[in-house]
Amino acid sequence: MSKLVPVPSGSMVPDRDLNKKPVLECVDLGISFGGLHAVRDFNIIIGPTEISGLIGPNGAGKTTVFNLLTKVYQPTQGTILLNGKDTHGMNTMQVNRAGIARTFQNIRLFDNLSVEDNVKVAMDAHMKYSMWSGIFRLPGYWREERAAHEKALELLSLFSMEKLANIQAGALPYGAQRRLEIVRALATNPSLLLLDEPAAGMNPSETAELMENIRKVRDALQIAVLLIEHDMNLVMNICEGICVLNFGRIIAKGTPADIQSNPAVIEAYLGKK
Amino acid sequence: MNFIIQFVNSLTSGGGAYQFLNHILNGISLGSVYAIIALGYTMVYGIAKMLNFAHGDVIMVGAYVCFYTFGALRLPGPLAPLLAVCAAAAVCTLLGVTIEKLAYKPLRSAPSLAVLITAIGVSYFLQNAALLLWSSSPKVFPNFFVLRTVDASGETAVLRSIQFGSLSISFVTIVTIVSCIVIMLALTWFTGRTKMGKAMRACSEDKAAAQLMGIDVNATISLTFAIGSGLAAIAGALLCSAYPNLVPTTGSMPGIKAFTAAVFGGIGSIPGAFLGGLLLGVLEIFAKAYISVQLSDAVVFAVLIIVLLVKPTGLLGRTIREKV
């Protein structure tokens, strides 16, 4: 694992990503609902191959940050730079096409579609054949559908799910559904993958396998991962940088070791001594 | 009990069996039209989660466009009706997409009641626009499906049906049933095998998640309206070929019946619309033939109520899980 080095604005990235353009840079990002600041002054920089974690007590605003990044909510303050490009004015679909993909805290697969179709439907933006070549099965249709089929199987094989391709997504066991959500997100060809509690409801051996898989995905696809997780074992093991949120504000940033010994973090989780 | 006796009598007497077959065919034919219309309702409901009550009036517009294009084209053979139906489908597709863009899209996040009222408004708008454009006097829709034959003496005969013994099947019936089957197969293939179809299914399950996976939800909704309205035009031409009285309110009753068929089969389900349409058509014709012409609609709706009491999601409808 490479070392974390500080970059301007008080963030850190792994040293291998130091001279590369960050995949994500949030400057003073925030949103208020009425008068309530759900998230405020959120500053973070994520390197292009970094695995980082977003942790904090319940209700700290972690999922809200994901919703801001994916434009489910429009930020009321600050900017989000994705690969150096301001995402201001983009909608959810455009942000996805610009490179952010996510999974959900409560699984939201397309239950009635097959496993393979769940993956292929996420490639929609990258498939260019027209409606007419779809209806009349012109060569363009066959070429692209075949390419999509191969890509889908390749992505599924990252999680050893290629044998499940024809099963209805809704019929998969829980752990496999969680994995399929990650595969589906990867199919949109992101540069930043957001995982919202990927290990929720998993047993320790499944969690260990998931950690391995997240690393494998990062290495194979050279993408950045930002994850929300309550399983501290997972967070401390695979995250290079961690950002702690409490009451919508960042209270600490740093390496897993820094975070574990940070008094403000300990206080947020366990209360004052 | 009277009608049961009448029914049994008609089956056992000489021509009864033929009559019975004839009713079934007519029922399937009418049901096919309902099914094609119901597809528009069910697809739009499945994806946009709204009841497009203007759908019936798109049928009427399609029939008028078909009527006038056919009148203007002086072409021999099957070319004129074919072109007329294509023109109607093109106009209706455009109309459907325009209605969606202007009337429904601004209400995407509005309460469903607002969208429903808007749809009723669009329905009245179309009816009154048709009244203004084409007047209230009924047009006699031409029967497209005739076969002209010249016999040995040089006399031309116009054939409207094929005769099998004492069973006569009109060409309209055959074309309608075949069209419905072709449309059904094509749609099943489209939604199952193409990226647009899969995007539609994904949107119908979870629009927000689909958007987060890079699917263009607005384009998908437009496509749904385009397909539904194009099909409505075809249904309009078929309906008016069988029942040739064309007025600005022609679409409303078949529209409501087809909506009923969609609910009957399970709204949101494409095979459900097909099944619901066919059953409704057969039921209606049987009720007309064996019970009472006046009471036929009442019988049809009574059956609908009973089915919904037993299975509230319709015949093929899935139970919707509410996300909490």
DSSP B287: I
Asked if A79 is an interface residue toward chain B (Cβ–Cβ < 8 A), one would say: no
Q: Is A87 on the interface with B (CB under 8 A)?
A: no
Decide if A121 and B199 are in contact by the 8 Å CB cutoff.
Answer: yes
Contacts with A205 (C-beta within 8 Å, 6 or more apart), sequence order: none
Whether pLDDT at B16 is above 90: no
Residue ranges per domain, chain B? 2-187+217-310
- Percent residues over pLDDT 90 in chain B: 64
Cβ distance of B211 and A111 shorter than 8 Å:
no
Tens-digit pLDDT profile for residues B56-104: 999 999 999 999 999 888 777 778 888 999 999 999 999 999 999 999 9
Fold of B2-187+217-310: ABC transporter involved in vitamin B12 uptake, BtuC (1.10.3470)
Could you read off the pLDDT of B134-167 as tens digits, one per residue?
Answer: 999 999 998 878 777 777 777 777 778 888 777 7
Q: Closest approach of chain B CAs to the CA of A15, in angstroms?
A: 31
pLDDT at position A139:
87
Task: Provide mean pLDDT across the span B298-314.
Answer: 88
User: How confident is residue B121, by pLDDT bands cut at 50, 70 and 90?
Assistant: very high
- Candidates B35, B61, B117; CA nearest to B249 is B61
Nearest chain A Cα distance for residue B17, angstroms: 41
* Rounded-to-integer distance, Cα B34 and Cα B177, Å: 11
Identify any residues that bridge with A5 across adjacent strands, giving them in sequence order: A13
pLDDT tens digits, A219-238? 999 999 999 999 999 999 99
**More confident: A11 or A146:** A146
**Hey, is the C-beta of A92 within 8 angstroms of any chain B C-beta?**
yes
Cα torsion angle, A65, A67, A68, A70, sign: positive
d(CA B10, CA B5): 8
pLDDT for B322 equals 46
DSSP A183: H
Residue A162 CB coordination number (10 Å):
15
**pLDDT of the residue at A268:** 84
Residue in A101, A131, A184 closest to B196 by CB: A131
* CA terminus-to-terminus distance, chain B: 50
Q: What is the mean pLDDT of chain A?
A: 90
- Which amino acid does the sequence have at A10? G
Q: Is any Cβ of chain B less than 8 angstroms from the Cβ of A143? A: no
A36 interfacial to chain B (CB closer than 8 Å): no
Q: Where do the domains of chain A lie, and which CATH numbers do they carry?
A: 1-99+231-273 (3.40.50.300)
pLDDT band per the 50, 70, 90 thresholds, residue B323? very low
What is the DSSP secondary structure assignment for residue B321, as one 8-state letter? P
B14 pLDDT higher than 70:
no
Q: Residue B144's CB: how many other CB atoms inside 10 A?
A: 20
Give me the helices (H) in B243-289, please: 252-265, 270-286
Please give the share of chain A, as a percent, with pLDDT higher than 70. 97
Q: Read off the pLDDT of each residue in A198-211 and give the average, rounded to a whole number.
A: 91
Tell me if B190 and A134 make a contact (CB, 8 A cut-off).
yes
Per the prediction, chain B carries an average pLDDT of: 89
Asked if A54 and A228 touch (Cβ cutoff 8 Å), the reply is yes
* Complex ipTM value: 0.86
State the smallest CA–CA distance between residue A258 and chain B in angstroms: 34
Question: Three-class SS of residue A129?
Answer: coil
CA dist., res. B156 & res. A40, Å (int)? 85
- The DSSP-derived string for B78-113 is THHHHHHHHHHHHHHHHHHHHHIIIIIGGGTTS-HH
Least confident of A46-60, B50-64, B304-318: B304-318
Q: B197 pLDDT exceeds 50? A: yes
Judged against a pLDDT cut of 60, whether residue B186 lies above it is answered with yes
Question: Is the per-residue pLDDT at A119 higher than 70?
Answer: yes
**Percentage of residues of chain B with pLDDT beyond 70:** 94
Q: What pLDDT is stored for residue B324 in this prediction?
A: 41
Question: How far, rounded to the nearest angstrom, does the alpha carbon of residue A272 sit from its chain's CA centroid?
Answer: 32
Instruction: Provide the pLDDT for residue B228.
Output: 96
Task: Name which residue leads in pLDDT, A270 or B199.
Answer: B199
Q: What is the mean pLDDT of residues B263-271?
A: 90
